[in-house]
Amino acid sequence: MGSVVFQVIADGKVIFDSGVITSGSSTMSINVSVVGVQNLTLVATNAIAGNIDYDHADWAGAQLLA
């Protein structure tokens, strides 16, 4: 079973961390403020170090809204 972690990083500070999400998890929507942020990074990593079997992640539908 695949497992991933999603993070939103704003100016070097983690402002969202999904925790471990597996193929059995429900989809998730998030809403975080990025007002004033100069550098925004969206990260998806494997949740189990050294194991990338079946890990699949994407930021489908990600939007920046004014």
Average pLDDT over every residue of 7-23: 95
Residue 12 to residue 45: CA distance in whole angstroms? 16
> Higher confidence at residue 43 or residue 66?
43
pLDDT at 39: 97
Percentage of the residues of the chain whose pLDDT score is greater than 70: 95
Within-domain flag for 62? no
Structural domains of the chain, count? 1
Within-domain flag for 58? no
Within-domain flag for 59? no
- Residues with Cβ within 8 Å of 54's Cβ and at least 6 positions away in sequence, in order, are 1, 2, 23
Within-domain flag for 20? yes
Within-domain flag for 32? no
Within-domain flag for 6? yes
Within-domain flag for 14? yes
User: pLDDT at residue 55 above 80?
Assistant: no
Candidate from 15-19, 21-25, 37-41, 48-52 with smallest mean pLDDT: 48-52
Within-domain flag for 8? yes
Domain interval for residue 14: 1-27+37-51
Pairing mode, if any, of strands 13-17 and 3-10? antiparallel
